[in-house]
Amino acid sequence: MNQAVEAFLNEVWQEVMTIYAKENTQIGELEHRSSLQAGIMDYLQVAWRKGKFTWEAGKIHIDIYEPFSWSDSSYKIEAGPYIAELTDEQLTEEFFPALCDRVDQLFRSEKFGPSFFDFRFQVVFEFERETSTISLNRRLINEAKRTELRKTLEHFIQTRVVSESPGDMPGEKDLFFFADHLVDPELMRQEEKEIDPLVRRLSAKLRTDPSRHAEWIRHYTAAFNRWAQEYFLPRYFDRTRDYGNYWTLKTGQDLQAVDGGELDFFLYAALQVGLTEPDNRQDYLELAVQLGSQRAADYLKTGSGKFASIYRGERVEGKNNDVTRTIEIRILTEEASAYEEALDYIIGLLRQGFPKGYQLKLKSSQKHFLPLKKLAKSKLHQFFANALSYPALFPKLAEYADIAMEEFAWYEDVESGEKSVMPGTYAVMGLGLYSESYFPLVRRYMELVDTEHQMVQDSYAEVFIEAHGLRAEHMPVFVAILLGGNDEGRPVKNAVIDTPELAEALVQVLKGKEIHERELVLCRIFGSVKKLAAAARKAQPPLKEGLEQLVALQMLTLLK
C-alpha cells in the first residue's frame, strides 16, 4: 500500500476507534432497550472537505450518523502533508477498499458487544478537490444478525401483537422499532396483505391505553412516511428541495419499469400517512398518478369505489371521497329541509363505513358559528352551526352525533393541533347549549373525549353556564363537562357555588367520583381545595355547611 494512503487510513481509523470507544460506553449505559433493536451503529462517513482558499488546506470529517444537509456535526481532524500526494486512483482503488475491509471486520466482530452494530452498515467516502469530488459508498450486511432479528421479530409478533392476552403488550420502546421494521424490505414483505393486519391488530390492542395508542399511530404513520421519502420516491423522482414534497419525475424515467407491487404498497402507505398528514396523502397520490397509477387517479377523483361519489337531491348536492376523506355539500335552498337532507346524506355515508374523521367542503350563504372562541371557524363548524339554527333538526343532529362520536378519532377540518376535535363535537356542543334535552348526550361525549389530546372543550363550561345558568339539577352534566377538560384546565370564572342547594348538589355528584376527579372539579370551580376551605370559613350558614361538606369530603378521601 502506498505510504500516503496508509498514513491517511491510519489517521482516520485511529479517530474512528476513539469515537466508537466513547459511543460504546454511552450505549452500555442505556436502560430498557427494545429486543427489536439489533444494534445502533449503521453508518460511517469519512470525508476530506477542501479548504477555503486551497483544497489541500482542508480537514478530515468523520460522521458516525448520517448527517443532515442543514447541520454539521462531524468530528474534524487535521491531516498530514500526505494529503496532497493522494491521487484519485489511489483513493478509489486502495484507500476506500482498505477502509471497507477494516469496517467489515469490526462490523462482524464482537469487539464492542452484540448491541453496538445493526445488521446492516453503510460506508461512505467523499474527497473534495478544487473542482471535483470523489463519492463512493458500500453497503455491508451481517446475514447472521439479520436472521436472528427476523426470529426476534416473529416472536414479538406472535407474543405481543397477535396474542389475545391483555397482559402481552409491547414495551414502551418497542413501538418505534416495530413500526420501522414493518416497512423494512429486508425484514418483511412490503405487501398490504402482510402489513395491514398487523397494524390493525396492534391498534385494536392498544385502544385501552389512549396515550400508547396515539403513540403507535404516530410511529407507524411516520414509518410509512419515511419509507415513501427515503426508499420509494427517490427511485423514480429527483427531490428539488430539502423539505416538503417537491419531487420531479426523473428524466427519461420508463414508466413500464415501475415495480407494480411497490407502487401498490406506496398507495397503501399514502393512505396510512393520511391519518396524520392529509396533505402528504394528497401529494403522494398525485405522484403515483405521474407513475401511471390509474388506481391513484381513481382515488383522487372518486375514492375507493365503495361509495357512490355523487349525490343530487332536491335541495342539496353532494360529493364524497373516502380516500381523501372529504365530503362536499352544496345547499341549494337555505331552509331546514335542505340541512335535514344534507344530514341524512352524511349519516347514510357514516352508516356505510365512511371515515368519521372527514373534512367538509361547504357552499352555503349562511354563516353561523357556535359561541366558543377555541373552536376553529371551519366549513364543518359552519355547517353544523347553520343546521343548529333550526330547532326542528335537533333530533337529526343528535342522531348524527350518536353515529359520529368515536374515541381517538379526529375531524380533518383543521391541521392537527390545538383545534382538532373528535367527530360529533360541533353537533354535541351546539345541542348542549340550545336544549336541556341533550344533556345526556353531552355527558356521554365528555366521558368519551380524549382529554390528553383535545383542548377545545376546556372553554365549554363557561359558555354552558352563560346559556343555562348553574342550577342544582344541572350539576351532573356540569361536573361531566369539567371532567371532560384537561387536567390543566383553568378555573371557570362564572362557576359560582353561592347557594346551599348548589353546594349540596355538588356534594352528591362528587361522592361517586375518584379522588383525582374530585380535586379536578373543585380546582376548576374554586381554584384549589385550599381556596375552597377559605371560602367555607368566610361563608354564612347555611351555605357554610354545604362548603364545609365539600372540604370534609375531599379531606376524608385523602386520609383514606
Count of Cβ atoms closer than 10 Å to residue 389 Cβ:
14
Tell me what the mean pLDDT of segment 483-500 comes to. 88
pLDDT (0 to 100) of residue 279: 87
Q: How far is CA 244 from the centre of its chain?
A: 17
Q: Which residue has the higher pLDDT, 297 or 373?
A: 297
The set of residues, in sequence order, having a beta carbon less than 8 Å from that of 423 and lying 6+ positions away, is 356, 357, 358, 404, 405, 406, 409, 410, 411
Q: Which letter, b or e, does each residue of 393-407 get, where b requires 16 or more Cβ atoms within 10 Å of its Cβ?
A: bbebbbebbebbbee
Closest CA to 219 of 391, 459, 27, 36: 36
Looking at residue 342, its pLDDT comes to: 98
For residues 47 and 64, the answer to whether their CB atoms sit within 8 Å is no
Crossing angle between the packed helical segments 336-351 and 379-388, to the nearest 10 degrees: 120
**Is pLDDT above 90 for 430?**
yes
Inter-axis angle of helices 260-273 and 278-290, to 10 degrees? 160
Query: Looking at residues 428-440, what average pLDDT do you find?
Result: 97
Residue 22 three-state SS: helix
Mean pLDDT of 156-182: 91
What is the pLDDT, as a whole number, of residue 369? 97
For residue 61, give the amino acid letter: H
Strands 237-239 and 75-77, bridge-based pairing: unpaired
**Percent of the chain whose pLDDT exceeds 70:** 99
Taking the CB of residue 280, how many other CB atoms lie within 10 A of it? 20
Eight-state DSSP code of residue 179: H
Residue 433 CA to chain centroid, in angstroms?
32
Residue in 373, 380, 372 with CA at minimum distance from that of residue 327: 380
pLDDT at residue 556, as a whole number: 61
Classify the phi-psi angles of 360: left when phi > 0, otherwise alpha if psi is within -120 to 50, otherwise beta.
beta
The C-alpha cell that represents 81 in the structure block? 502533508
Spatial neighbors of 350 by CB under 8 A, at least 6 apart, are 356, 400, 403, 404
Does 542 sit behind a cis peptide bond, omega within 30 degrees of 0 on the bond before it? Answer: yes
Number of other CB atoms surrounding residue 524 within 10 Å: 20
pLDDT in tens, 208-264: 887 888 899 999 999 999 999 999 999 999 998 777 788 999 999 899 889 999 999
Q: Which residue has the higher pLDDT, 361 or 489?
A: 361
User: Is the pLDDT assigned to residue 288 strictly greater than 70?
Assistant: yes
Check whether 19 has a pLDDT greater than 60. Answer: yes
Run of H or E including 211? helix 210-226
Backbone angles phi, psi at 74, to 5 degrees: -70, 150
If DSSP codes are grouped into helix, strand and coil, which group holds residue 200? helix
d(CA 172, CA 146) in angstroms, rounded, equals 23
Radius of gyration of the chain (CA): 31
- Least trusted range by pLDDT, from 40-54, 165-179, 544-558: 544-558
- Determine the average pLDDT of the residues in 463-467: 96
Determine the average pLDDT of the residues in 439-454: 93
Cell numbers that stand for 449 in this block: 373525549
pLDDT at 25 over 90: yes
Percent of the chain with pLDDT over 90: 83
Q: Which of 247, 216, 217 is nearest to 229 (CA)?
A: 247
H helix runs in 356-436, sequence order: 379-388, 394-404, 425-434
- Looking at residue 211, its pLDDT comes to 82
Nearest to 97, CA basis, from 5, 175, 32? 5
Does the structure show a pLDDT above 90 at 45? yes
pLDDT band of residue 557 (cuts 50, 70, 90) is low
Residue 397 contacts residue 431 (beta carbons within 8 Å): yes
Does pLDDT of 70 surpass 80? no
Name the helix (H) or strand (E) containing 46: strand 41-49
| pLDDT at residue 166 is higher than 80 | no
3-state helix, strand, coil in the chain (%, to 5): 55, 10, 35
Contacts of 51 (CB under 8 A, 6+ apart): 57, 58, 59
What distance in Å separates the CA atoms of residue 320 and residue 311, rounded to the nearest whole number? 9
In this prediction, residues 137-154 reach a mean pLDDT of 97
* Kind of pairing between the strands at 117-128 and 41-49: parallel
**pLDDT band per the 50, 70, 90 thresholds, residue 305:** very high
Q: Give residue 400's pLDDT.
A: 98
Specify the pLDDT at position 167: 74
| Lowest pLDDT segment from 25-39, 73-87, 122-136, 420-434 | 25-39
CB burial of residue 382 (10 Å; 0-12, 13-18, 19+)? buried
Q: What is the pLDDT of residue 1?
A: 82
**Confidence (pLDDT) at 533:** 92
pLDDT at 560 over 60: no
Say how far apart CA 29 and CA 12 lie, in whole Å: 26
Q: How much is the pLDDT for 559? A: 47
Give Cβ neighbours of residue 374 (< 8 Å, ≥ 6 apart): 418, 419, 455, 456, 458, 459
Provide the mean pLDDT of the chain. Answer: 93
pLDDT at 120 over 60: yes
Nearest residue to 482 via CA among 453, 504, 513, 508: 513
Rounded Cα gap, residues 159 and 166, in angstroms = 11
